[in-house]
Amino acid sequence: MKEAPDASPTSGVQDTLVPEKVVDALPTMYCFETCPFCFKVKALLGSRGIAYSKVEVDPTFKTQLKWSDWGQVPVFVDVDGTQVNDSNYILHYIDSKDSDSFPRKGEDQQQDHWMDFSNKVLGKSIVAVIYTSYGTSLRALDYVTRVDNFSFGSRLINKWLGAAIMRMVGKSRAKMFDLPPRENLKFQLDEMSKGIQGDFFGEKEPNGADFANFGILRSMHGLNGFEIVESHPVVSGWYTRMRENSGV
Ligand SMILES: N[C@@H](CCC(=O)N[C@@H](CS)C(=O)NCC(=O)O)C(=O)O
């Protein structure tokens, strides 16, 4: 779960169209089932009622994404073949093509700040909690055994090797913070609460910061440490509102 810097030259809308990567003539998202960054995009698409195709990428070898220079999920391919990389850029792209209802990057400092927070802080904080032991990592990777487009061998490798890799990633993420993983997540949720003004970061309606941070936390649902989110005095209510809004 490495993260490319937001300023990477290959983030955002790409020059080359890839219409052959569109599935069933619908906007297509290349994703991992449990990827926090992919959940951001699923939440926005859900909130706007936009139908889309999903291509499940195998997390260890990323076989289904070999065609792309951008080696991370999510990758979004619009119906005309426009390829957009990097979750926050994808959120802006989809909103700009749909109802244009939240500010673009650079137009609202608060939204920018909390969208960055979703990648630089919250995404890393949850990884340290979910992948805190080999057992919790196996639990998080168990979904790969139920993905139809993966072969039997790929399911096994992705689960057992994937859990070992993610356990190491979890350890390295934990080292980034002063507090132990669970305490750190609680602390970061307290921080995040300061940005929720009224019902949402966007006050009456969700903005980019809502979709970005909700996606991260939604990916934890049912996994180790999710009770920290559920029991948080501010975040739990916001999370429920975002689930209702997005249907995700
Ligand atoms: N900045 C990227 C981060 C995406 C990311 O880290 N995705 C992970 C999955 S959760 C990934 O593709 N990891 C595989 C790798 O880096 O090789 C975004 O916001 O979309």
Same domain, 85 and 124: no
For residue 103, is it within any domain?
A: no
Residue 27: which CATH number? Answer: 3.40.30.10
Predicted confidence at residue 203, as pLDDT, reads 97
Our mutation pick for probing the ligand 1 site, out of 40, 62, 72, counting the most ligand atoms within 8 A of Cβ, is 72
The total number of structural domains in the chain stands at 2
Domain co-membership, 93 together with 114: no
pLDDT at 10: 87
Phi/psi-derived region of residue 49, left when phi > 0, alpha when psi is between -120 and 50, beta in every other case: left
Pocket test for ligand 1, best of 3, 34, 61, 88 (most atoms within 8 A of CB): 3
**pLDDT band of 226, cuts 50, 70, 90:** very high
Question: What's the pLDDT at 25?
Answer: 98
Mean pLDDT in residue range 71-92: 97
Residue range of the domain that includes 91: 12-97
Predicted local distance difference test score (pLDDT) of residue 2: 52
Residue 188 lies in a domain: yes
240 and 118, same structural domain? Answer: yes
* Alpha carbon nearest to ligand 1 atom 8, residue: 1
Pairing state between β 83-85 and 28-31: unpaired
User: Looking at the predicted structure, is the pLDDT value of residue 6 above 90?
Assistant: no
- Domain with residue 159: its CATH number is 1.20.1050.10
- Tell whether 155 and 209 lie within a shared domain: yes
Residue pLDDT, tens place only, 174-213: 999 999 999 999 999 999 999 999 999 999 999 999 999 9
Residues lining ligand 1, Cβ inside 6 A:
1-4, 32, 35-37, 71-74, 86-88, 119
What's the gap in Å between 194 CA and the centre of ligand 1? 26
pLDDT value, residue 134: 94
Say yes or no: 135 and 73 in one domain. no
Measured distance CA(130)–CA(158) in Å, rounded: 17
Mean pLDDT of the chain: 94
Arithmetic mean of pLDDT, 156-176:
94
The domain boundary, picked from 97, 129, 156, lies at 97
3 CB neighbour count, 10 Å cutoff: 15
Q: Are residue 114 and residue 204 in the same domain, yes or no?
A: yes
Q: Does some domain include residue 1?
A: no
Residue 204 lies in a domain: yes
Indicate which atom in ligand 1 lies nearest the CA of residue 119. 19
Residue 8 confidence (pLDDT): 47
Beta bridge partners of 56: 31
Residue 80 lies in a domain: yes
Q: Are 102 and 202 in contact (CB under 8 A)?
A: yes
What is the whole-number distance in angstroms between the Cα of residue 198 and the centre of ligand 1? 31
